[in-house]
Chain A
Amino acid sequence: MDNIAIIGLAQTRYERRKKDKIFLDLVYETTTAALDDAGLTIDDIDNVVTVSNDFFDGRTISGMAVGDAAGAYDKNISTVEGDGAFGAMYGAMRVLGGAGTTLVVAHCKGSEGDTATITNGMFDPIYQRHLGINAVTSSAIQANAYLHRYGITEQDIAMVSVKNHGNAKNNPFAQLPMDICVDDVMTSKKIADPLKLLDCSPVSDGAAAIIIADEKTAGRAAKPPVWIKGMAHCADEYFLGDRDLTNPRSLRQAAQKAYAMAGITDPFKEIHVAEIYEAFTYMEPLWLEGLGFCEPGQGPSLLKDGVTTMDGRLPVNPSGGVLSAHAVLVAGLARIIEIAEQLRDTAGARQVTGAGMGLAHGINGPCGQSHCVWILSKEK
C-alpha cells in the first residue's frame, strides 16, 4: 500500500440535543475546522465522501442534504451509508486509487429521531421486525450469551462504564464525563437484562470530519501527518440465530488483515492505544478478544488487571469511548480522530504518553455483525 495519511481532522462537542444547530451546520462546522486543521482550503479537496443514513436523517437520499455544507459543489462526491470508519475506508481507497485529496465527513442528530424505531429497521421485516427488537434489546441477548459462556459477571462489565465515563472527564468533546462507581451502574435503571442504563451509550448529536491525502500532499500539511498503515473490514452472518454471538469472528478476520498490512505480529506489544466501538459495556472486552489482545473470555481481565486503564499497558478508549458519546455513524470516525490526536501528541489531558501506533475500530449492523479496523502510526 502506498503511504497515505490523515492530514486534517475535526469533531464537534457531542451533546444530547443540539437545539441551535441543524445537521448541515454540524457538517459545515467540522468541514471548515478540518480544513483549517490541515492548513488547506476547500479548493485543495478533490473528493468528498459524506456519511449519512436515511433512517436517522428521516429522509431519502440523505446525502443530498449535506453536499453544500461539505463543500462538494462541482467536486467528485459519494455517500457511504454506515459507520464513519467504513466511510473513511472508502475515502482512503479514493486517495490510493489516485483520485487526490479526500474529505470524509459524518453527521448524526440522534435527538431528532427515535433510535429504537430506527434500529428496529435493521431487522428482517418478515421474521424479526414485528417482534419489536432493536439495537439495545438485541445487544442484551449478545451480552447475556457472552456473560453466560465465560462466567463473566455484571460487575465485570460495569467496570467498563466506570473507566470510560471517568476517561471522558479528560475529553472536552465528550457528552457524559462522570465520576461513577460499579454500584452506580448496578443500580441504574434496568433496560434489558443484563444491560442497565449505565451499560448503554447515550443518544447524541454530533459530526466529525477527516482529510486523507497522499504522501506528497501530506508533506505540505500544517500539522504532522498521521499515517494509515492498515485497514480492513469484514461482515459475519445476518440472522442473530445463525451466529455465535460470543465469537466476534468477523472482527478477528478484519483485525488479522489490518495487522498484516501494518506488519504487526504482536498487537498487544506493538499497539500503544486503542479506541474501540463499545456501544454497550460488554462490547469493549468482547471486541478486545476479537482484536486478539487476549484469549476468548479473558476480555474483562484486561480491565481488572489494569491493562486498559489510562496508566495501563494498553489504554482503551481514553476519550471515554462510545459510552460517553454515541453519535451513530460519526462514532467510528471519532475513534479514528481520537487515535490521530493521540499520535499527534495533541490529546491534551487524555494523552497517552509515547503513543506511536494506535488502533481505531467501527461497527455496522446488529450486535457488531460487521467490523472495520484501522491501524494508524506516527511514523511513515
Chain B
Amino acid sequence: MPQRVAIVGTGQTDHKSHRPDVNQREMINEAVVRALEDCEMTIRDIDAIIIGNMDHFESINYVDTWSVEGSGGVMKPIMKITTGGTTGASVAIAAYYHVASGLFDKVLAIGWEKNSESDTTAAIVTCSDPVWDRFSYSGAIPSLASEASAYMEQYGATQHDAARVAVRDRKNAMNNPHAHLRKPVTIEDVMASPMLAYPVKLGDVCPRTDGACAVVLAADGIAQKVTPRPAWFVASAVRHTYTWFGDSTDYDQGLVSLKNASREAYQKAGIRNPADELDVAELYLPYTYAGLKYIEALDFCAPGHGPRFVADGHTEIDGKIPVNPSGGVISTNCIGATALLRVAEAAIQIMGKGGKRQVHGANLALATGFGGCFWSDVVLLCGDRP
C-alpha cells in the first residue's frame, strides 16, 4: 500500500532578475535552508533529494551530483528530474513517489534556475528538432502567439481581455514578499507595451528570473508531527503528449494536455465542479492569454467563457476561485523552479502561511505546470488527510 504523503515545509529565494551575490549552488542553498527552517528540520532529517532545472540555461551537466553541497545531498540519495517548463511540478510528483513508495519518509524537492546567466531564448530554441523545427518555429513566443491568435479568432477574445490577467497577477504579487516583479500594471500599460509577436506584447509575458524553490515532503505519521497543518497530496497527473510543435496546433480543442491531466486528477480526488470545490489555484500561466484559455481546460468555466469569467472577478483573491495569489508566473519565472513554486504556493495556502496573500480558509488547492510542447502537470493538495 502506498504511503500517504504531505508537504510540510516550503522555502524560496527572494526572486530577482540577477543574483550576482551568489553562484548557482549557493542560490539553491538559500531555498533549501528556508524550507528546512519552515518545518524545523535539519538536513540530517532528510532521506532523499530530487532536483530539477534545464541543463542549457546554465550549462551544467549532471546537476544532481554537481549540486550536492548546496542542496544538502552529500552522502544522500539524489536524482534529477527534468521536463522543461513543467520541471518543478515533475520534481514535486517524483518527490511524492519517493515517499509514497515507502522507500523514503522525508524528502526534499528542489527546482531552480539562474536565467540571468544565459540567453534564455538561445537555449529554449534548442528544444525543437534540430533537423526540422529549430530554424523556424522555435522558442516560447512563436508557439504561444499562434495559440493566442487562434483563441482570439475562435472566441472573439481581445488583447484587453488578456491584459486583465496581467493586471490581476501583478496586483497579487504586491502581497508576495518573494515575487520578482512587484509593481502593479494597468490594462493601458500592457496595451502600450512593445509587440513581440501578434498578439503577444511584452506586458503579456513572464519575466526571466533568478530563483530557487525547495519543498519538504513527509509520510503519514511524520507529517502531522512536523507541522500542525500539512498539505496532503490528493492526486497528480501528467500529460506530455506532444513531440512536435506542429502536433499541437489543433488549438480549437483547448489545451488538451491540461484538460486530460486535470480530468484524471479531478476523478482521483472526486471533484465534479472544480470552480466550486477548489479553494485556490496556482496556475503556470506563462503569458496572459493562458489565463483565459487554460482555466477553460481546467473546467473552471465553459470553453470561450474565460474572458468573461476573469472580467467578472471570479479569479480575484476574494473571488469564487482565486487564481495565483502569489502573483504567478507573470510576476516570477525562474523556470526550473516555476512549477515547484506553484506547488509550494498551493501548499502555503493550505498550511495557512500565506500572510498578505492568504486565501481565507483554503483547504483544497490546485497547482499546475506548463511547458515543453504544450505539456501539463497537475497536482491537487488538501488540508484533510485523504
Q: Do chains A and B touch in the complex (CB under 8 A)?
A: yes
A74 and B260 in contact (CB under 8 A), knowing A55-B55, A60-B84, A97-B96?
A: yes
Q: Is A233 at the interface (CB under 8 A from chain B)?
A: yes
B265 to chain A, nearest CB (A): 10
Q: When chains A and B are docked, how far (Å) is the Cα of A118 from the Cα of B55? A: 11
Whether A96 pairs with B237 at a CB distance below 8 angstroms is: no
Q: Does A181 contact B (CB under 8 A)?
A: no
A-contact 0/1 string along B24-60, CB 8 Å cutoff: 0000000000000000000000000000001111111
Instruction: Assess A364 versus B62: contact at CB under 8 Å? Given A93-B98, A370-B78.
Output: yes
Contacts A59-B128, A96-B102 supplied; 4 other A-B pairs, CB < 8 Å: A76-B239, A93-B98, A93-B100, A366-B62
Does B123 make an interface contact (CB < 8 A)? yes
- B64–A370 CB distance below 8 A: yes
The B-contacting residues of A in range 47-92, CB under 8 angstroms, are 53-55, 58-61, 63-69, 72-82, 86, 89-90, 92
| A98 in the interface (beta carbon within 8 A) | yes
B54 touches A61 (CB 8 A): yes
A235 in contact with B90 (CB, 8 Å): no
- Smallest beta-carbon distance A89→chain B, Å: 7
Interfacial chain B residues near A119, Cβ < 8 Å: 61
CB distance from A60 to the nearest CB of B (A): 4
Indicate which residue in A63, A126, A233, A253 contacts B240 across the interface (CB closer than 8 Å): A63
A154 in the interface (beta carbon within 8 A): no
* CB-based contact A80/B81 at 8 Å: yes
Main secondary structure of the interface of B (DSSP, over half): mixed
A84, chain B: closest CB distance, angstroms: 12
CB distance from B119 to the nearest CB of A (A): 12
The answer to whether A107 has its CB under 8 Å from any CB of chain B is no
A249 within 8 A of B: yes
Which residues of B pack against A, CB within 8 Å? 1-2, 23, 54-69, 73-84, 90, 93-94, 96-98, 100-103, 123-124, 126-130, 237-243, 260, 264, 371-373, 375
Contact B101 A253 (CB under 8 A): no
Least Cβ–Cβ distance between B307 and chain A, in angstroms:
28
Taking a contact as CB atoms under 8 Å apart, the answer to whether A60 and B81 are in contact is no
Question: What's the tally of chain A residues with a CB closer than 8 Å to chain B?
Answer: 62
A232 at the interface (CB under 8 A from B): yes
Chain B residues near A377 (CB-CB < 8 A): none
Q: Is the CB of B60 within 8 A of A238?
A: no
A99 x B97 contact (CB < 8 A): yes
Contacts of A1 in B (CB 8 A): 101-103
| Inter-chain contact B81/A64, CB cutoff 8 Å | no
Contact A237 B56 (CB under 8 A): no
Residues on B with C-beta less than 8 A from A73 are 241
Contacts of B238 in A (CB 8 A): 76-78
* A→B interface (CB under 8 Å): 1-2, 53-55, 58-61, 63-69, 72-82, 86, 89-90, 92-94, 96-99, 118-119, 121-122, 124-126, 231-239, 249-250, 253-254, 364-366, 369-370
A89 to B68, CA, bound (A): 19
Tell me whether A118 and B260 are in contact (CB under 8 A). Answer: no
Would A82 and B64 be within 8 Å (CB), given that A60-B55, A89-B79 are in contact? yes
* Interface pair A96/B103, CB less than 8 Å apart: yes
When the two chains form their complex, are residues B78 and A96 in contact, meaning their CB atoms are under 8 A apart?
no
A236, B74: Cβ atoms under 8 Å? yes
Chain B residues contacting A67 (CB-CB under 8 Å) are: 240-243
A238 touches B65 (CB 8 A): yes
- B79 to A90, Cβ gap below 8 A? yes
Determine the distance from Cα of A64 to Cα of B371 in the docked complex, in whole angstroms. 10
8 A-B pairs with CB atoms under 8 Å apart are A53-B61, A76-B238, A81-B62, A94-B97, A122-B61, A236-B68, A237-B74, A366-B65
Flag if A82 contacts B79 (CB, 8 Å): yes
Chain B residue at minimum C-beta to C-beta distance from A91: B97
